[in-house]
Amino acid sequence: MRHFYFDHNATSPVAPEVLRDVTDSMAANYGNASSIHHFGQAAKQRLESARRTVAARLGCTDREIVFTSGGTEADNIAVFGVARRAVRTPRHVITSSIEHPAVLNACGQLEREGVEVTWLPVGSHGVVQPEDVRRALRPETALISIMHANNETGVLQPVAEIAAIAREANVPFHCDGVQVGGRLPVSVRELGVDLYSISGHKFGAPKGIGALYVRKGVDLAALFYGGHHERDRRAGTENVTGAGALAKAMALNSDWSAFAELRDRLERTVLERVPGTRVNGKVDCRMPNTSNIRFEGVEGEAMVIALDLRGYAVSSGSACSSGAVEPSHVLLAMGLKPEDARSSVRFSLGPGNTLEQIDELIDAVAASAAHLRRISPAVLSGSAV
């Protein structure tokens, strides 16, 4: 059986060019970048070359890039680093109810430390309203953290508008850009953000490498304690090979816009062929590769399993919440009933997906939905589509 991958928002395959780069780097750049001998300096040159590439892709200076182990660490450094450094008391943080767990749980920890957190709501479209951010501001607000694109629905947030509000209030603004950076062109200067997180495994680099943009002048409290790596912003021996792979992947993948045509074909045809289906989120302002579809009368997890058995990898929500019994917090925040949130499936496209695969996936979705509805207790009782 052939297997096709439609779960790029969870992780993407390592690009062949990046894989070759990783192999070459591990053989040639095994020195510690902090060592002063030949091998150490070769590793240092490799590290700084990667930093310049990533900075160029994000539209900032190389001194503003901090390499991390991935998006979660980048988010944690930003959230804890700014909030714990704040001199204002009591401290206050603004975030949204649809953030990735890396931000949600970090803010939850801040609450346990005595920081007040405002959790902004979203409407049925899954969009944070800039005016809600403005109204939530207080004199003691130390940080605003709003994602660039939601990992489950792909909905893009009005980051530039929120950044302008934050700048006017002189409040640092962190943006979780993990689903956007490396996939669409990003200029942190044009967005106006103070901190921006990316993760390499979302766009062709290996797992275990990410980066955080930290605007010059933003002060961070330490999350790790150790040596003076990354200009005292992230202690620990640098992942030289990972940094190089991140840079290589960013140079290869800068625009996933072409996937919108395939995504739209998938949605249009599924909605035509499968009764009781609906797209979750604001359809005209999303990442071009992402679709979140609700199937009435079908458990999302059952659909994921059924499609996997037919050779198609999809997801029922955030990969970081796999195995969770609770329905998606994102879809609940958008006003869906728990049973509707549980009946939703995420399809996320990426390099390697073709028109032929999309058409075959549509057939598999239609067949799986029909089969699951036939055997569903709800259907048997006549209470579902």
CA distance 179 to 190: 18
Alpha helices in 170-226 (DSSP H): 188-191
Q: By three-state DSSP, how is residue 116 classified?
A: strand
Q: By three-state DSSP, how is residue 239 classified?
A: coil
**The dihedral of CA 336, 340, 341, 347: what is its sign?**
negative
CA distance 246 to 252: 10
Number of other CB atoms surrounding residue 68 within 10 Å: 31
CA distance 285 to 219: 33
Number of other CB atoms surrounding residue 326 within 10 Å: 11
Q: Which of 60, 175, 285, 320 is catalytic?
A: 320
Extract the tokens encoding 350: 């990426």
Q: Would residue 60 show up in a list of annotated catalytic residues for this protein?
A: no
Alpha helices in 114-187 (DSSP H): 130-136, 159-169
Q: What are phi and psi of 12, to 5 degrees?
A: -115, 155
- Burial (0-12, 13-18, 19+ Cβ within 10 Å), 269: middle
Please identify every residue annotated as catalytic: 320
